[in-house]
Structure 1
Amino acid sequence: MRGLREPAVLDTLVSVRRTAMDLLARREHGRVELTRKLRQRGAELELIETALDRLAEEGLLSEARYLESFISYRARSGYGPLRIREDLSQRGLARADIERALSQCGFDWRAQLHEVWQRKFGQMPADARQRAQQGRYLTYRGYSMEMVSRLLSGRGLDD
C-alpha cells in the first residue's frame, strides 16, 4: 500500500533520475518545479542539476513542451492569457519563453472568453451591479479589461 511504504532515499544520481522520470511520466514539468519536488524529497541540488541536465539532453525534460501543455490545459479550463502568464511566472519560467509560447499557442482567446461567459452567465447584465460582477469574474479568469468591456457592452469581440 502506498501510504505504508518508506519513501525512497534520493542520495544517488540513479535514484534522483528515476524519481524525476516517474514525475515526468505522470505529466510534463518545468525544470524549476521538478527541482522543487526533488528537493522536497531530500535530493541534493548537485545531483538534481546533473540528472535534469541529462534528462534535458535526452529530450525527456522540455520547458517548451511543459509550456505548451500547461497553456493548453489552462486555456481548455477557461483561463485567459493574463492569468496563464501570471501562473507560469510564479512557477519560475522565463518571461520571454512564456510570451513566445502564448503567441505560438494558436488559441482563440476571444472565442474562449465568449464561451466562458456564455457558460457562466448566458445573458447580458441587466444593470451596473451585474455588469461589475461579470466583469470581475472574467478578469479574474485572466481576460483583459478591454476584451471583457467589449463583450459586456454588446459590441462584440470582432469590432
Structure 2
Amino acid sequence: MTELRNRALQLLARREHSRAELHARLATQAESGEALLAVLDALEQQGLLSDDRYARQRVVAHAGRYGNARLRQELKQRGIGESEIEAALPEAGDEVERCRAIWARKFGQPPETPEARAKQTRFLQYRGFSHEAIRHVLRGVEDE
C-alpha cells in the first residue's frame, strides 16, 4: 500500500490529476480496489488530491484557447463533477473577450462573404464558444 501511495505522490508531483485519472492510472498497480480507494481517500483528506483544484487549474490553463463548452466537456471527460465544473468556469474570465482574442489572432479581419463568415463561425464553435459569444464578436467586428 505504501508503494501505491508513493506512485500516486510521484504522479501528483508532476502535475495535478483528477481522482478519476489517478484511479485509472493506478488501477493496474493496486493489489485490490479497496486498497486503491483507501489511498485516494487518504490523499484527498490530506489535501494532496482535489478535483476542485484540478478543475480550476485546468480551466485557467486552457481558457486562452477554448470556450466554456469545450472546457466543460474536457472536465467531464476527466471525471470532474458538475459542481466542481460550475465553480471552476468563472476562473476562465469573460467568454466574449476570450472569443474576440482568439478570433483576432486567427482571422483579424471581418468576413467579406457569407462563406468566410461561416468558416469563422465554425472555427469558433469548434473551440467551444457559445453562439451568443460568436454572434457578439462577429457582429461587433462587422459594425466597426
Partner of residue 24 from structure 1, selected from 12, 36, 45: 12
1:97 is matched with which residue? Answer: 84
Q: Secondary structure at the match of 1:153?
A: helix
Is 1:140 aligned to 2:141, yes or no? no
Shift of 1:97: 1.7
Q: Distance in 1 between matches of 2:130 and 2:119?
A: 15
Secondary structure at 2:66's aligned position in 1? Answer: coil
Q: TM-score, normalised by structure 1?
A: 0.83
**Aligned residues between the structures:** 141
Q: TM-score, normalised by structure 2?
A: 0.91
Q: Distance in 2 between matches of 1:65 and 1:91?
A: 13
Distance in 1, matches of 2:123 and 2:140, equals 17
Gaps in structure 2 of 5+ consecutive residues: none
Larger RCO (CA within 8 A; separation ≥ 6): 2
**Tell me, what secondary structure is at the counterpart of 2:10?**
helix
Compare the two structures and name the one with the higher helix fraction. 2
Task: Determine the structure 1 residue equivalent to 2:96.
Answer: 110
SS of residue matched to 1:98: helix
Which residue of the partner structure matches residue 57 of structure 2? 69
Q: 1:106 to 1:130 in 2, by over 3 A?
A: closer
Cα distance in structure 2, aligned partners of 1:95 and 1:84: 12
Shift of 1:154: 2.5
Other structure's SS at 1:154 match: helix
**2: CA distance between counterparts of 1:151 and 1:42?**
49
Task: State yes or no: 1:47 paired with 2:32.
Answer: no
Aligned to 1:10: none
Structure 1 segments unaligned to the other structure (5+ residues): 1-12
The CA RMSD over aligned residues, in Å, is 1.5
Identity of aligned residues (%): 40
